[in-house]
């Protein structure tokens, strides 16, 4: 598997991953793929935004999004937030998401982050066990969500 930052050409593969395997409520409106491609171009150039993908057989089969957030705390060290961890069903249980999470953690260490948050909307024990097995503690801190 090749791990790299996403690029605009990955938009359609990411759309499949997100709407078929990540969210239970895909949007009812048609997606403007030009907007997706423009945002992926921005992500590719942004040193604080990482949309990491795992590529296999010429297509994106796994993805992890991470933002580096500058902070005035912890001796002016940033922290990272990971979300949207997803792998195509046909490629699960092969270590793809774990490899992406490890790469994201390496980037966070290289950027001197003092912590990495991982956000998940899943309460499934298998999902939480997967995150525990990848070094993330469950329920050490609480996230509060306000939908806008």
Quote the domain boundaries for residue 88: 2-133
Q: What is the structure's pLDDT at 147?
A: 81
**Which CATH number goes with the domain that contains 39?**
3.40.630.30
Domain membership of residue 125 (yes or no) is yes
86-91 contacts at long range (C-beta below 8 A, 24 or more positions apart): 86/17, 86/18, 86/21, 86/22, 86/62, 87/17, 87/21, 87/54, 87/61, 87/62, 87/63, 88/16, 88/17, 88/20, 88/21, 88/61, 88/62, 89/20, 89/21, 90/61, 91/54, 91/56, 91/61, 91/62
Domain membership of residue 117 (yes or no) is yes
CA distance linking residue 129 with residue 83, whole number of Å: 16
Q: Are 7 and 44 in contact (CB under 8 A)?
A: yes
pLDDT digits (tens, 9 = 90+) for 77-112: 999 999 999 999 999 999 999 999 999 999 999 999
Domain membership of residue 147 (yes or no) is no
How much is the average pLDDT of 56-84? 96
Question: Minimal CA–CA distance to 136: which of 89, 97, 90?
Answer: 97
Domain membership of residue 40 (yes or no) is yes
Domain membership of residue 144 (yes or no) is no
Domain membership of residue 142 (yes or no) is no
Domain membership of residue 9 (yes or no) is yes
Give the chain's domain count: 1
pTM for the complete prediction? Answer: 0.92
Q: Is the pLDDT of residue 25 over 70?
A: no
Domain membership of residue 68 (yes or no) is yes
Q: What is the structure's pLDDT at 27?
A: 73
């Amino acid at each position: 598997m090749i791990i790299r930052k996403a690029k605009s050409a990955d938009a359609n593969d990411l759309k499949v991953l997100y709407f078929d395997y990540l969210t239970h409520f895909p949007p009812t409106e048609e997606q403007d793929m030009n907007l997706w491609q423009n945002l992926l171009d921005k992500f590719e150039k942004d040193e604080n935004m990482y949309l990491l993908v795992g590529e296999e057989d010429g297509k994106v089969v796994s993805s992890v999004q991470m933002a580096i957030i500058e902070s005035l705390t912890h001796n002016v060290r940033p922290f990272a937030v990971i979300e949207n961890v997803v792998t195509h069903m046909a490629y699960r249980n092969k270590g793809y998401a774990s490899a992406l999470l490890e790469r994201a953690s390496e980037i966070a260490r290289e950027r001197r982050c003092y912590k990495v948050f991982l956000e998940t909307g899943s309460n499934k024990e298998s999902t939480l066990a997967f995150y525990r097995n990848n070094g993330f503690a469950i329920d050490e801190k609480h996230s509060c969500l306000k939908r806008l």
